[in-house]
Structure 1
Amino acid sequence: MRRRPFGRHGTAAGGGSDGPGSDGPGSRGGADGRGTDKGGTDGYDAQAAAAPRRVGGRVPGAGPADHRFGTVIAVGLTGDGRPHRSGAGTLLGALGLAGLAATGQTAILLALGLAAGAGLLAVLIAAPGAGALALIAMAQLDGVVEIANRASPVSLFKLLSAATLAALALLLARTKARTGRPAPSGPVVLSLFFALWVALTHFLSPMGAAGREQTIDLLSTLLLVPIIALSLGTARDLDRAVLILAASGAISALLVLLEAKGGIRLTPVIDAQDIADWRGEIRSSGGSAENPTTAAQLIAVSFMVAVVMALRDPARRWLWAALAGLCLMGLPLMGARSAILATGTGLALLAWRYRRHPRFPLAMAACVAGGLALLPFVPASLWERFDVLGDLFDGGNTSDRTLLRRISYNLIGLDLLSQNPVFGTGPGGFPQHYAGADYRWYPGRELMPRRLHNAYLEVAAETGLVGLGLFLGALGGAVTMALRAARGMGAAAARASALGHALVVFLVASLFMPNEDIKYLWILVALCAKAAWLARKDPA
């Protein structure tokens, strides 16, 4: 896995998370169809006569379900219904000839790899949503995926992202009809403008190579927005995405339980310093390749999705409740204060929105009972982590250097923003300035470069107020659209509610970590926009 020069959340040597021991570096690696009218021919055959003619991008006599995203792509790829040469078939044939011509072992392996890639591309063309759903599943369970990555020369997530983008590009190039495709939503458009602004600030920045990797990581993460927006076009796709969000968090929480209570670790350690310990207690990242704090925030997102769906989906209430229970048992064992605070904020918002529901008192009683049942799972170190927060109100006299570092992060970020409020320092600029001589006397400061543990202030410091405005516009627009769509009573409103509340949880958590390049943030933005559009299109 390609690593950053100074880690995701810390130094080159590593570090902890948001606990009192350290700050914790992390590491991460890292279409709808447009139908085509080719026109007819002067000849006549039975097959052409039997094929339905497209009128204005629609097939006469077909119901609304026939014009879903996948159906439109299928019709678009076949034009007016007559058989024609397939670009994918031609490509497969060419690759087959290349494989036969290969004589050396390297050439054979290359031919097999190209053939597998062509097969994957064909699958994604036939089912565009499959690639996006797989990417959503891999986003939180990237620690599990790392097992396969170690046997592969290329990151599987990046490979699947590239294949999905290629499939979408082929579909868009070969089809013209816009049936079944939503107009670009505000959050999607703003996220794309934010990506352009990030690239611009990088080119204008004097950071050069020091910020190149951060820029590439952020831009590659932002690609998830158009991938999801173009790939997931039906209510069934979105329902699967919501289930994957909740289930992946439950799986990660189960791995936390196995490691914390049974001493069994099934996933590889990406960086030994990522699994930080404080006062003798190891902090697990579960199924994630992130540091324990970020991994806990991802599980908090999954928990909120499962809780809301348990309230809004009676048919599968016990499934959602079981997933939420697993997430809740694993969450405190990870020792992340920010994840606990964000989860509490999400639950408070949920309680406020449902305060007039006839079953609200029963739900509150269940929450209290669940909290009491959870107490045995709370390690003593987590209570100590919250206890040291009181030191901030005791003249700032604290042994927790994490708190001092966080104060310094924000003070330095504000100073950098004041120096260049329009373009900022450029992506990846904050860690270099943090380690510079100008800020060497700030409290808790360390010698090695570190990122600003506040996503909003880091975006402002590195891309200026323009970048911050685009960033907040995309996030705020996604939350607003989802929560407005959640006012209905159907399944579409339930999905929008779950995604909207989950994004709120992650936005609160981002006050304490540099989450602007975490995959889940932009996955949630795209899903919220898609859920709001589907709720308007088909509220059932």
Structure 2
Amino acid sequence: MIFPLSIVSLLGLVCLALLASPYPYLAPGAVLGLVGVTLFYRKPTWGLLGIAALVPFEGFFKDSSLSGTKFLGASLAVILMLQLAIHQIPSERLRSNLWRYLVWFMVLYFLSLLNTDDLGMSLGHLRELSVGLVLFVITLLIGRELNLDLFAKFVTLSVTMTCMLAMFSSKYQDQGRAAGLLEDPNAFAMLIAFAVPLGLLLVVRSPKMLHRLFWGACCILLLGGMTKTESRSGLVVLFLSLVIGAWHYRTELARIRPRHLGFAMLGIVLVIPLAIAVMPAGYVARIQSLSILSAGAKSQDESLGRRASYIVVGSQMIRENPLLGSGPGTFPLHYATTGYAKAFSANRKVGDLYRRAHNTYLEIFSELGIPAGLLFVGMLALGLYNLIRARRLWMQRNNREESDMMTHLAMSFLSLTLFLMFLSAPNQKYVWIMLALTSVLRLKAEERPFPEAKA
């Protein structure tokens, strides 16, 4: 693959211009940029792996207009457009069964944008969503060459590193709750729930015991980080995904002999009290607060009360504008005018009054309307079905390695879709990368021929 001479010449001129400018110290950065762009041109999947690895570290760039993920995403977008133009990448790569939902979703999105209650807020929402859409297209184009084992390793290591920072440094905590490099502990718990199934896959598939111990230690750190976030939703989502994983490996449980049950029960007796003992007291109190919920009962938990108020305001918005909603990103505008905003605001600051719905589905239904909300939910459901379909096809071919990979990716993707009920994150990068990846993996599984039956 030959790198275009015009691009090399352009970057060379940029280096010379920087050397002659008042900022000559930026010239080495241009050279490094040339090396990086050359690498991504030859191996664009490394750029996608870099984006996946940098997502947990985006907090480092929160005060900067150019983050690592933005640079990688922009570079990949330019490179892939060039490769499409010169037919180095076939346009058939863009084929996906998700377009039928996404295209109509975006049509309704722009209609809602034209009818918005606040154009500035809606344009800001569109700018955030466009990042996810770009990643969706990038993943469709290069997802076939993506090394899924490396993807699992990069994600597991990066999230584990932020867990270590959050567990052992109060700088990366929010009022005692681990937030990593993010502002919201629940958003951090979402990353952990996404990474745990991938870490468990590495434990299962690693050929050497030392490697298994390393990835097992990473999983323990991830679980420790989850408890430190004190996220109730994270605990529920993680439990559901692990149950699905246990169902996939149910045939392996048949190998357990009666003599092994005693050791298993002993392990349970030791692990459960130990987990309760090391679990933060605040986390235990937050979990116990769920038991007070009953029909007609008033919650004493402020967080649960806030979430109930979001549902009330969102339901009212849906009733008022069921077709096109109030406009993308306008939920905080409507919430700030209610009495709930003042009641749940500790210091009456603007950031406390203008709150998002903390529920992506509720936010989309209320801001974009019921049709767009159904399309969004249908798109995520189809993505999950793509992984289930790919898993079934690999199992029919007796390819256990690929079916295990599909199972763990489905667990991670399911964690993301469930977490969207507790977070406002329609532009979450992992969501759009995984959404495109589900389509790519299903197509690869369908295109692989079945082995011929032996005579």
Alpha-carbon shift at residue 357 of structure 1 (Å): 3.8
1:208 to 119, 123, 146: 119
In the superposition, relative to structure 1, how do residues 220 and 399 fare at CA in structure 2: closer, same or farther (>3 Å)? same
Q: 2:154 aligns with which of 228, 244, 260?
A: 244
Letter in 2 for 1:218: L
Cα distance, 1:533–1:229 mapped onto 2, change above 3 Å? same
Q: Please list the CA deviations of residues 327-374 of structure 1 after superposition, one character each: whole Å capped at 9, or x if unmatched.
A: 112210111111011111112222334434434867994984654543
| Pair 1:171 & 2:87 matched | no
Query: Which residues of 2 match residues 271-282 of structure 1 at below 5 A?
Result: 275-277=173-175, 282=176
**Are 1:343 and 2:238 counterparts?**
yes
Aligned CA distance change for structure 1 residues 103 and 348 (closer, same or farther; 3 Å): closer
In angstroms, what is the RMSD of aligned CA positions?
A: 3.1
Q: Deviations over 1:188-226 (max 9, x none)?
A: 653455345434422331311122212211222232111
The answer to whether the Cα contact below 8 Å between 2:174 and 2:183 also exists between their aligned partners in 1 is no
Scaled by the length of structure 2, the TM-score of the pair is: 0.84
- C-alpha distance in structure 2 between counterparts of 1:383 and 1:116, whole Å: 49
2:376 is matched with which residue: 459, 464, 471? 471
Note closer, same or farther for the CA distance 1:97–1:348 as it changes in structure 2 (3 Å cut): closer
Alpha-carbon offset, residue 142 of structure 1: 1.8
In the aligned structure 1, how far is the partner of 2:287 from the partner of 2:388?
A: 31
| More divergent stretch after superposition (103-112 vs 93-102) | 103-112
Measured after TM superposition, the shift of residue 167 of structure 1 is: 0.5
Cα distance in 1, alignment partners of residues 142 and 447 from structure 2: 17
Is the alpha carbon distance of 1:418 and 1:189 closer, same or farther for their aligned partners in structure 2, counting shifts above 3 Å? same
CA distance in 2, matches of 1:383, 1:97: 60
Secondary structure of the residue aligned to 2:426 is helix
By how many angstroms is 1:400 displaced? 1.8
Match of 1:529 in 2: 439
- Of 440, 446, 450, the residue aligned with 2:339 is 440
Residue aligned with 2:354, SS: coil
Task: Give 1:355's aligned residue.
Answer: 250
Q: Which residue is 2:422 aligned to? A: 512
Q: Aligned equivalents of 1:252 and 1:376: distance in 2? A: 23
Q: Deviations over 1:168-199 (max 9, x none)?
A: 001101116739x6462223653455345434
CA-CA distance at 1:103 after TM superposition? 6.8
Unaligned runs of 5+ in 2: none
Alignment correspondent of 2:358: 453
Measure, in 2, the Cα distance between the counterparts of 1:212 and 1:183.
26
Instruction: Answer whether contact 2:387 2:438 (CA < 8 A) is retained.
Output: yes
In the superposition, relative to structure 1, how do residues 102 and 451 fare at CA in structure 2: closer, same or farther (>3 Å)?
Answer: closer
The farther-off stretch of 125-134 and 193-202 is 193-202
CA contact (8 A) 2:237 2:418 kept: yes
Distance 1:206 1:142, change over 3 A: same
The answer on whether the counterparts of 1:193 and 1:470 sit within 8 Å (CA) in structure 2 is yes
Q: Does 1:139 align with 2:40?
A: no
2:3 is the alignment partner of 1:92: no
Alignment of 1:222-237 (within 5 A): 222-234=133-145, 237=147
Provide the rounded CA distance (Å) in 2 between the counterparts of 1:314 and 1:102: 49
Deviation at 1:132, TM superposition (A): 0.7
- 1:129-168 per-position Cα deviation (integer Å, ceiling 9, x unaligned): 111110011112223x43xx76x66222212111110010
What is the DSSP-based 3-state SS (H/G/I as helix, E as strand, rest coil) of the residue aligned with 1:517? coil
Matched, 1:255 2:165: yes
Q: Distance in 1 between matches of 2:185 and 2:212?
A: 29
The partner residue of 1:495 within 401, 405, 425 is 405
Distance in 2 (CA, whole Å) between partners of 1:504 and 1:204 is 33
Show the counterpart of 1:218. Answer: 129
| Contact 2:335/2:341 (8 A) holds in 1 | no
Match of 2:41 among 116, 121, 125: 125
Conserved 8 A contact 1:249-1:303:
no
SS at match of 2:98: helix
Give unmatched runs, 5+ long, in structure 1.
1-73, 78-85, 270-274
SS in 2 for 1:389: helix
The 3 A distance-change label for structure 1 pair 170 and 378 is same
Match of 2:184 in 1: 291
Summarize the alignment of residues 31-430 of structure 1 with structure 2, pairs less than 5 Å apart.
74=1, 87=4, 89-97=5-13, 99-100=15-16, 104-106=20-22, 108=24, 116-143=32-59, 145-146=60-61, 154-175=66-87, 178=90, 182=93, 184-187=95-98, 190-191=101-102, 193-234=104-145, 237-259=147-169, 265=171, 275-277=173-175, 282-286=176-180, 288-311=181-204, 317-359=212-254, 365=264, 368=268, 370-393=271-294, 395-430=296-331
Equivalent residues, number: 431
- Report sequence identity in percent: 25
